Amino acid sequence: MITKAHSNWRKTWFCCVAGAFLLLWSLFLPPVADAVNAEQETRLDQFLRQSMATGAIPGMALVIVKDGEISRAKGYGVTGDGLPFTADTPILIASLSKAMTAAVALMLVAQDRIDLDAPVRRYLPEFRIATPDGGASITVRHLLNQTSGLSDPGFPEMRLAQPGSLAERVSSLQSAVPEDMPGETFHYFNSNYALVARIVEAVSGKPFEVVLEDRLFGPLGMAGTKAVPTFALAQKLNVPPAAGHVAAYGQAWRWHEPGGFLGGHGGVISTAADMGKWMRWQMTGQPDILPPELRTLMQTPPAGSSYAMGWFRQTVNGETAIWHDGVFSTVFSDIVIKPEQGLGIVLLYGVGGALPAAVTFPNIRAGALAIASGKSPEPSGVSSVAIGRWAGAVTLFLTSAAVMDLSNWRRAGTALTWRAAAGQAARLIPFIFLLSLPQILQFASGRAFSFEAIFFAMLDLTVGLAIVGAVLALSAFCRLALIARHGRRPGLADAGRRT
């Protein structure tokens, strides 16, 4: 017979065993959220490594901020120096620097030391441009919103002698011819942000790079981040930025950055880990170093524009994206914030080039964002490696055809006919097209890039044009030399002869 006391004892024993079992279960089995995060990390690793293989990316790093926390910061592959590319690898972030310039300028606005709607000349009396009023109506806000009217066609800064300081850049702008009246039209123009940086110097009484360190990098804990006014000074740092690569024919080739002046618009050197802290502040406002309304203003474009203050802001499929990219010949950087999702991502690449920027990097950005959101990335059937190899095959074919044309120069006609002249002119087209690329791209994009920057950014195209153009130009020279040697100058009656 089971007594009541015995029954109670059995119930107590059962509850203890069950409780112990549940405790052990909770200790040895991960929570569902952790399992999901682990799965996302595995998928993200696989996606990035596959994308690096199909995109000829030797090394890269990313950082993800989710719901106000840095959820992932990791590097992959190697730098141009052959070192591991980690979350602490420093690289030049190029135009991602602009929002940092805007941030410290707005901090001075918060202290009533800069008025956004004051003319630039209030702070820089020496500022002049090539207009009757010398740019007197250009305001600080116009500079930050890139609506000053200044543009690359009126001042091709990347093709001109490079200054060594912000003061020299301001002085050089005396020859700048604006394309529009201030406040009318957006023109992406690096020197707008060089002017803002110089205003920060003038108001604070300190070098711009020191202001960035004191007011931004230090408070945000960005210990691995520095700023320099020129590429040459970046190479003299104790820890210089990692070397990168150029892309050509489906491969990445270690190369040096052309360099130049970077002050205010492209001179920040940072890491994925530090960029996570910067992005988290942009998303949360913590630590509280800038009033929320000014941080919002920095991310909000004026009416009729998609450019705010160092940020582009667009709505795609009903979802807001705040973004910017940074473009150099040998490195590339990308930042995107999705406010509605509380999600942000930074991607730093150890390779540059027009082809990966157009094909590979957008797919990686979209795929990484999808995985971080718990979705599957859209499959991409485009591979920059495959495109590069096709470009190599085309270059080889055209080079072979050009060499065959050159080998036949002795059999060309010896009369300077209209047909002969047209034939030699046609042989110069590839070389002329190569030399005209800066003007062609300026017409198409409004940006005035240097020939060196264009050459290394588009190696699949420019190397092919250089080789084929040189062989055909030599063929044309040989044919003209043959005609000159014979000294014949017939008229149109000989137009039927071979060229």
pLDDT of 224 strictly over 50: yes
For the chain, give the percent of residues with pLDDT over 90.
71
pLDDT of 77 strictly over 60: yes
480 vs 448: CA distance, rounded Å: 35
Q: What is the pTM of this model?
A: 0.87
Q: Which residue has the tokens 């408070």?
A: 219
- b/e string for 300-322 if b means 16 or more Cβ within 10 A? ebbeeeebbbbbbbeeeeeeebb
CA nearest 310: which of 150, 65, 146, 116? Answer: 146
pLDDT at 211: 98
The arrangement of strands across the sheet holding 268-270 comes to 91-92, 268-270, 226-227
Of the ranges 4-8, 266-270, 443-447, 477-481, which one carries the lowest mean pLDDT score?
4-8
91 vs 195: CA distance, rounded Å: 24
Mean pLDDT for the stretch of residues 229-256: 92
DSSP assignment of 94-156: GGGHHHHHHHHHHHHHHTTS--TTSBGGGT-TT---SSTTTTTT-BHHHHHTT-SS--TTT--
Read off the amino acid at residue 101.
Answer: T
What are the backbone angles phi and psi of residue 483, rounded to the nearest 5°? -65, -45
Mean pLDDT for the stretch of residues 71-86: 95
pLDDT at 148: 97
pLDDT of 65 strictly over 50: yes
- pLDDT tens digits, one per residue of 335-386: 999 999 999 999 999 999 999 999 999 999 999 999 999 888 887 777 888 8
For the chain, give the percent of residues with pLDDT over 70.
89
- Crossing angle (nearest 10°) for helices 190-204 and 97-110: 40
pLDDT at 19: 45
Mean pLDDT, all residues of the chain? 88
pLDDT at 414: 67
CA nearest 492: which of 385, 408, 420? Answer: 420
Structure tokens given for 206: 């300190």
Residue 424 binned pLDDT confidence (cut-offs 50, 70, 90): confident
195 vs 199: CA distance, rounded Å: 6
Mean pLDDT for the stretch of residues 161-176: 96
pLDDT at 21: 38
More confident residue, 421 or 140: 140
- pLDDT tens digits, one per residue of 296-318: 999 999 999 999 999 999 998 88
Other Cβ atoms closer than 10 A to 193: 26
Residue 493 binned pLDDT confidence (cut-offs 50, 70, 90): very low
State whether the Cα torsion 77-82-87-89 is positive or negative.
negative
The continuous run of DSSP H or E covering 247 comes out as strand 244-248
pLDDT of 492 strictly over 80: no
- pLDDT tens digits, one per residue of 98-149: 999 999 999 999 999 999 999 999 999 999 999 999 999 999 999 999 999 9
DSSP assignment of 307-367: B-SS-EEEEETTEEEEEEEEE-SS-EEEEEEEGGGTEEEEEEES-B-HHHHHTHHHHHHHH
More confident residue, 15 or 100: 100
pLDDT at 480: 82
Q: Which residue has the tokens 């491969």?
A: 251
pLDDT at 487: 64
More confident residue, 487 or 481: 481
Contacts for 36-42 with beta carbons within 8 Å, 24 or more apart? Answer: 36/374, 37/71, 40/371, 40/372, 40/374, 41/72
More confident residue, 168 or 3: 168
Of the ranges 73-87, 200-214, 412-426, which one carries the lowest mean pLDDT score?
412-426
